[in-house]
Amino acid sequence: MATDVITLITRDHRKVETLFERLKKKEGDPRATVAELHALLTAHARAEEDRVYPGIDAHHEVEEHKEAEVLLDALVRAEPGTAEFEEALGKLVEAVNHHVEEEEGELLPKLASQTDAKELERLGAAFQKRRDEELTALTGGAGPRSSADGEATKAELYKQAQQADIPGRSQMDKEELEEALRKAGS
């Protein structure tokens, strides 16, 4: 169901905050939550950059996405339960919250003021399509929530393969990643 781009972007922001809370309160499996966060943040940022930012001046926001990507990467690499993980989480939360505040406080109101309702709906559909394509690619088509059901997504397996430094991992499909990880004993 189509809706306007402001609503869709804001909805993702709230979802990201929910995942941050889950990590801060140490609820559930932190690896699964980090994988879900990684997929959502990455897909959201790509869709903004490709479908929303080009219509407005958003150089500063693109820079912030790059910074967040580096911090997200550090969180993915960190071992849950360690001081390193907590530090990486703290830095990412701070950077993303700041970015979200700017987006919702400045960028989105500016977009809303210079765009009519029909165009906001059109942008919403384009944003969502791009975001969902990216999410599917990152999660192997299973959707970000499958991680909560106990079965690892391709993104999670890929993260584990990165940590285990498995050669050729970027060319592997889900089954090959599982096999390689089994052999590596992780």
Provide the binding-site residues for Fe ion, judged by CB under 5 A: 48, 103
63 vs 179, which CB is nearer to Fe ion? 63
Convert 158-181 to b/e letters by CB count within 10 Å (16 or more is b).
Answer: bbbbeeeebeebeebebeebbebb
Nearer to Fe ion, 84 or 133 (CB): 133
Smallest gap, in angstroms, from Cβ of residue 141 to Fe ion? 24
Distance CA 160, CA 38 (A): 13
In whole angstroms, the minimum distance from the beta carbon of 175 to Fe ion comes to: 34
138 near 155, Cβ under 8 Å? yes
| Shortest distance, position 67 Cβ to Fe ion, whole Å | 11
- Among 34, 29, 36, which Cα is nearest to 12's? 36
User: Among residues 48 and 134, whose Cβ is nearest to Fe ion?
Assistant: 48
CB nearer Fe ion, residue 4 or residue 48: 48
In angstroms, give the least distance from the CB of 20 to Fe ion.
14
